[in-house]
Amino acid sequence: MTDSEDALSLKQKGNQAFKDHDWLNSVHFYTKAIEANDQDPSFYANRAQANIKLEAYGYAIADATKAIELDGSYVKAYWRRAIANTAILNSREALKDFKVVIRKEPSNKDAKLKLAECEKIVKRVEFLRAIEIGDPPSAFEGLDIDSVPVEPSYDGLKLGTEMTSDFIDDMITRFKNGKKLHKKYVYQIVAAVKNIVYEEPTMVEMDVKEGHKLTVCGDTHGQFFDLLEIFRLNGFPSESQYYLFNGDFVDRGSWSTEIALLLYAYKWLRPNAFFLNRGNHETDDMNRVYGFEGECKAKYSERVFKLFSESFSALPLATLIGKKFFTLHGGLFSDDKTTLDDVRKLNRHQQRQPGQQGLMMEMLWTDPQTAPGRGPSKRGVGLQFGPDVTKRFCEKNGLDAVIRSHEVRMEGYEVEHDGRCITVFSAPKYCDSTENRGAYINIGPELKLEYHQFDAVPHPDIKPMAYAQSSLMQMM
């Protein structure tokens, strides 16, 4: 078999893996095909599409760019680069490529639609920047929750001045049946939790007492019924069953308001036994594109989104468990000099959104890599850090390991960097398209990690990204 024939055979294996939703193996086979023949643009374009599925948008942009270098008329490559740039909110670059697609395929109605949507996004971003002010007024300003009436027709349990287990049980039943909470109760829950988490340190420090258990969960991404499966398997939150949700509660999945409200209700009920870290999807830019803003508006109101946004910006960025496990959504830092003390001193209230650089951005966005040192992010945002970086950070700060989330893992979790970097992801069958399991980690007083896997459960027939700002996102 010639190199060319071998490469085509590998491409076909990659195509089959892609059809089977095995994105990692599809990337593997396309990479092997490129190694056998690095002059075929389709190999790069196909790998770009698989990388989009893996949310490795930086890699996807690089692959699509290479395909275009090899064949400047390759429309699919422009299309995929546009989709990847849209995913990392780089809409101006996406706009250029959508225009190329239409120029090369003037009758492509889908491309015209995407171009129009992309133009709307660019205009909105420019408008929001134009009206930006240094200190925006609080979304809670002028909101008199006590005066909001609850109509006699409301058929749910009433909420007083404190959260109760009965109210949460009724809330879960309502959400399972496709019902909403009354807006007054939404206001109460978000306001109460915003006040609680605002007073918590940027890095919460907690221990697991005798007779207690802490469960660390990764991304749940609006997959409400899978969240309930965690509670069914592992036990509902209680005074002895602690939980830590490590960011990305919302976006993508179409029950993000239900997850956010349920997690917030438990935080209000048990503020010292239920913990929440902020993720990169608890940010305005991501919420506007990936569905949470649209979902809030569709199910409640724009004001509810603004209230959530303000509460998200108050969330802690990390949790230190038993002085041994540094738990945060993304990962480690661009500078080896950064320590836990720097995290402790970080005033997250001065900067509501993470921006493009700095400790907050790195804590929300970075990813591990197998190679030593640091490298550019496969996402196109942040950076990647190697096992040597993790080792130095753990040794300097007296840690056993870093626990993080932020990335799909096919088995629900992965232990990397010689056991010092652990990824946990709790959204099985992510976006209804990735054949991954979910996982959570149990930690007792002895600080041993116990990994538990679980599978997705059925949910009502509402597709992921149902509330996304643009059908561009549904192309993912």
Q: Catalogue the active-site residues.
A: 281
Other Cβ atoms less than 10 A from the Cβ of 432: the count is 16
Q: What is the dihedral of CA 200, 186, 176, 242, to 10 degrees?
A: 20
Longest dimension (CA), the chain: 78
The burial of 6, by beta-carbon neighbours within 10 Å (0-12 exposed, 13-18 middle, 19 or more buried), is given as: middle
Please give the Cα distance from 77 to 340 (Å, whole number). Answer: 43
Tokens of 311: 């509460």
Nearest alpha carbon to residue 342 among 391, 385, 376, 393: 393
DSSP 319-357: EEETTTEEEESS---S-TT--HHHHHH--GGG-SS--SS
Specify whether the CB–CB gap between 256 and 295 falls below 8 A: yes
Nearest alpha carbon to residue 245 among 270, 215, 273, 268: 215
Residue 76: C-alpha distances to residues 34, 47, 81, 97, 462 (Å) = 18, 12, 9, 10, 29
Tokens of 46: 């196909």
With tokens 């992309």, the residue in question is: 118
Specify whether the CB–CB gap between 177 and 264 falls below 8 A: no
